[in-house]
Amino acid sequence: MIASQRTLLIQIVLLVFGLIFFGALGYHYIEELSWFDSLYMTVITISTVGYGEVFPLSTAGRVWSLILILFGVTILGVIAGKFAEVLTDIRVFRRHKMLKNIKEMKNHIIVCGYGRMGHIVCESLIHSGQPFVVIDRDEKVIEELMHDQIPAIQGDATLDEFLEKANVKDARACVCTLETDADNLFVTFSVREKNKKALIIARCKESANTIKLQKAGANRVINPYEVSGKTIAQILLQPAIHNFIEIFRSRDIDLAMEEIEIPNDSFLSDKRLIDAPLRSKYNLMITVIFDKNHDPYFNPSSDHVLKSGDHVLIMGKTDDLNHLKKDLGISS
């Protein structure tokens, strides 16, 4: 399709230059104008800008101007329509190509709603290199995202068809940041129905709706007002902790924390922490272990035995974490 559109664009350009040449040729021989004056007369006649003539035209010259105006306006109108059609086709082609690429995405993140919170989430995902796709109703927003080479789908995330276009069944996580709690509730329910393992994080404006979102399948429910309030309180009551976190943010220190499930029959299964090569080989530190009953073990002792299915919270450099996940056979 791109080849045919390119051919059409070439034809449009040739038609415009042919019209200008044809008009200049007429003025040159009818009025005996110079080639530059002939070109000038042709351009101002076709464009109908209303500039004055180089000098008074003869009757034959005026007839030629009338013919040129009629043909020029008609041809330019057709060209404008074709050009708009080409741009539309190119835009449609780009969207179809992007949808095809999105369909092939695996282990990605779906961001539903590109408002203020959605924008912040996407910036963080871009910085971390995580694959993601945005679903938003606003066509202008989608065009801007596509211009920045960010996978995006225009549509209502509360409708199953757009979640399916985002390949929700193979997604690793879904972030619901739509305007209303009702929409986020609906999306949460739909995503959980189609993907039992996905991590779902939903925004909630009203605290009373937190339980509803959790029952619908949300793993985490975030109330921006509560989070902001707690952050302010932490700065007031425990400034040292907040300053410690800000040091890492401001200096862009490579420190990541990730939750990893220990696979069956892996080299970490049934090993004490002291015998596991987490520190010696990977330079990583386990801060919390959640067993199969979701019971937490903070700062576990060196004699704690790791079991298959345990969820461990590991902290260290991003490359070291990726190295461990690769050796465990866990996709990033």
- pLDDT (tens digit, 9 = 90+) per residue, 263-281? 888 888 888 888 888 888 8
- Higher confidence at residue 84 or residue 104? 104
Task: Grade residue 60 by pLDDT with cuts at 50, 70 and 90.
Answer: confident
Mean pLDDT of the residues in the chain: 84
CA angle 149-150-154, nearest 5°? 115
Average of per-residue pLDDT across 73-91: 73
Average of per-residue pLDDT across 15-27: 82
Q: Which of 17-21, 182-186, 302-306 has the highest mean pLDDT?
A: 182-186
CA distance 216 to 101: 29
pLDDT at 332: 59
Task: Grade residue 22 by pLDDT with cuts at 50, 70 and 90.
Answer: confident
pLDDT at 215: 93
Task: Grade residue 128 by pLDDT with cuts at 50, 70 and 90.
Answer: confident
Q: What are the boundaries of each domain within the chain? A: 2-99, 105-222, 254-328
- Higher confidence at residue 1 or residue 121? 121
pLDDT at 63: 83
Task: Grade residue 3 by pLDDT with cuts at 50, 70 and 90.
Answer: low
User: Does the pLDDT of residue 188 top 90, yes or no?
Assistant: yes
Task: Grade residue 248 by pLDDT with cuts at 50, 70 and 90.
Answer: low
Token pair 């606003």: residue: 138
* Of 308, 261, 313, 305, nearest in space to 289 by CA: 313
In CATH, what number does 2-99 get?
Answer: 1.10.287.70
User: Does the pLDDT of residue 329 top 80, yes or no?
Assistant: yes
Pairing of strands 296-298, 256-261: unpaired
3-state secondary structure of 187: helix
Average of per-residue pLDDT across 72-96: 72
Half-sphere exposure of 261 (CA within 13 A, CB side): 8
CA distance 184 to 191: 10
Q: Model confidence over 136-174: pLDDT tens digits? A: 999 899 889 988 888 999 999 999 999 999 999 999 999
Average of per-residue pLDDT across 300-327: 87
Pairing of strands 256-261, 285-290: unpaired
Could you tell me the CATH superfamily of domain 254-328? Regulator of K+ conductance, C-terminal domain (3.30.70.1450)
Phi, psi at 311, each rounded to 5°? -105, 120
Burial 75-101 (b: 16+ CB within 10 A, else e): bbeebeeeeeebeeeeeeeebeebbee
Class of domain 105-222: alpha beta
User: What is the reported pTM?
Assistant: 0.61
Nearest-10 crossing angle of helices 224-237, 239-250:
110
Q: Where would I find the H helices in 195-277?
A: 210-216, 224-237, 239-250
pLDDT at 54: 62
Task: Grade residue 244 by pLDDT with cuts at 50, 70 and 90.
Answer: low
- Higher confidence at residue 188 or residue 53? 188
CA distance 123 to 70: 53
Task: Grade residue 13 by pLDDT with cuts at 50, 70 and 90.
Answer: confident
User: Does the pLDDT of residue 231 top 90, yes or no?
Assistant: no
User: Does the pLDDT of residue 216 top 90, yes or no?
Assistant: yes
User: Does the pLDDT of residue 2 top 60, yes or no?
Assistant: no
- Higher confidence at residue 218 or residue 30? 218
- Higher confidence at residue 62 or residue 52? 62
* Of 156, 170, 155, nearest in space to 102 by CA: 170
3-state secondary structure of 297: strand
User: Does the pLDDT of residue 42 top 70, yes or no?
Assistant: yes
